[in-house]
C-alpha cells in the first residue's frame, strides 16, 4: 500500500473528490459521453480532484473472459487516448490504482500498463497496483492560515463480486476493520451511477 500526502493549500474551504473507475475504454460499452462529461465536471471548478480506481481500459486478452475480437481499440490505442483525456487534469489526480483489467497484462507479461501511463502523466508517485491511503490537507483550520483541515482516504479497486447494496456495505465494513480512514473508495460501481446523474 502506498501512502500519499497532498497539501492543497488554504484557498479552498471545501474540496470535492470524484472517484473515476470502471471506464472500460476500448469496450463496445464504453460511454464516451458520460466519461467526457465527468472530466468536464472536474475541470469546471478548481476545487475538484479525482482518484483513479482502475479498469480505466477494458484490456481484453486471449486468456481473459472479455472477448478480444469485440474490442474497439487495442490496449496501446486505449493508453494513448487515456493520456490525452487525463493530461488536462493531471494536477487534479490524488491517487491511481490498478484494476483487474489492467492486471491482466501484468499477470501475463510482467508489464504494468497503468504504471506506464502514470509515468507518461508524471504522476507515478501516486500509483499503486493494490491500494493507496491518501492524506488530503486543505483550507484553514479554525481560521489559521498555516493549519489545514486534514482527512484520510483509502482507495482500492476491490475484488468483491456482490451486486447488492448490502454486499458493498459489508465489503467496506470489512475493509474498515483492516485500514482506518475517513473515506473509503473500494467497489467503484457507484461511479457509474454518478455518471448517469450528470449526463
3-state SS, residue 144: strand
What structural domains and CATH numbers belong to the chain? Answer: 2-198 (3.60.21)
CA pair distance 42, 27, nearest whole angstrom: 23
Would you state the pLDDT for residue 5? 95
What burial class does residue 110 get, using C-beta atoms within 10 Å of its C-beta: 0-12 exposed, 13-18 middle, 19+ buried?
A: exposed
Global confidence as pTM? 0.80
pLDDT one digit per residue (tens) for the chain, 199 residues: 789 999 998 888 889 999 888 888 877 778 889 999 999 999 999 999 999 988 888 765 656 556 555 566 777 888 899 999 999 999 999 999 887 667 666 666 666 888 889 999 999 999 988 888 999 999 887 777 777 888 888 877 765 555 565 655 666 566 656 677 777 766 444 433 333 344 3
Amino acid at each position: 500500500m502506498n501512502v500519499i500526502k497532498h497539501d492543497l493549500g488554504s484557498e479552498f474551504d471545501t474540496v470535492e473528490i470524484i472517484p473515476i473507475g470502471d471506464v472500460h475504454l476500448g469496450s463496445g460499452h464504453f460511454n464516451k459521453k458520460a466519461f467526457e462529461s465527468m472530466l468536464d465536471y472536474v475541470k469546471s471548478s478548481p476545487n475538484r480532484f479525482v482518484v483513479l480506481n482502475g479498469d480505466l481500459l477494458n484490456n481484453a486478452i486471449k486468456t481473459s473472459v472479455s472477448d478480444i475480437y469485440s474490442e474497439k481499440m487495442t490496449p496501446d490505442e486505449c493508453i494513448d487516448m487515456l493520456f490525452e483525456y487525463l493530461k488536462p487534469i493531471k494536477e487534479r489526480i490524488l491517487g491511481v490504482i490498478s484494476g483487474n483489467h489492467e492486471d491482466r497484462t501484468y499477470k501475463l507479461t510482467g508489464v504494468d500498463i497503468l504504471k506506464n501511463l502514470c509515468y507518461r502523466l508524471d504522476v507515478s508517485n501516486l500509483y499503486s497496483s493494490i491500494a493507496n491511503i491518501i492524506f488530503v490537507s486543505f483550507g484553514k483550520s479554525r481560521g489559521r492560515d498555516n493549519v489545514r483541515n486534514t482527512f484520510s482516504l483509502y482507495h482500492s479497486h476491490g475484488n468483491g463480486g456482490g451486486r447488492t447494496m448490502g454486499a458493498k456495505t459489508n465489503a467496506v465494513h470489512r475493509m474498515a476493520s483492516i485500514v482506518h480512514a475517513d473515506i473509503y473508495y473500494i467497489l467503484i460501481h457507484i461511479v457509474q451511477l454518478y455518471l448517469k446523474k450528470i449526463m
